Structure 1
Amino acid sequence: MYARVTVLEIDTTRVSVDAALETYLEKALPELRKQNGYEGIYMLSTPEGRGLVMTLWSTAEAADVSSPVGFYADVLSEFVTVFKAPPGRECYQVRFADVPAPTGA
């Protein structure tokens, strides 16, 4: 499994963290789920707007879906007015994961 990690900062003077998340879930997540090799996502944020998005992929090639052209570029274009600066991104091989099972809703 591979993880594509994007580090970002939302411009909270323009949009709230909650509104940015809602837009992502409505516009980007449905398309992300259609990508070959997609295996999940974690989104972390602070109230000040700093955030980390980690998408999980079956192979290194699948993780390339978030390269500077194509799907990733399309998603970024939707959020260009949301970020304080262009986000940074890296790809990692997931060497170990210990994810707790979900508990009641």
Structure 2
Amino acid sequence: MADVMLEVRDLTTKYITRYKEDVYAVDHVSLKVEEGKTLGIAGESGCGKSTLALSLMGYYFPPLHYTSGEIIIDGQNITGMKPDDVRKSILGREIAYIPQAAM
């Protein structure tokens, strides 16, 4: 069995809005990516693909907020880490975000 490079367990993030209800862009997402494998995320515009990618890198800046779940990258649980610590220790080494250019 291959090593798990990325594991997400029951991740939920939300956008806190000025309106009555918060927007849960990532709602109880779980996934695993094994070494040497590729995972594609597809969906309609506004369904949370980019929010999931940003969450996987610890980018929780208002109005986006972490709610629950775990993110484990190469055996390291980054869930409780500060965004600056994630950027310094993991980004560019273990994980990167390459956005799709809009046409």
Using the size of structure 1 for normalisation, the TM-score is 0.29
More helix by share: 1
More strand by share: 2
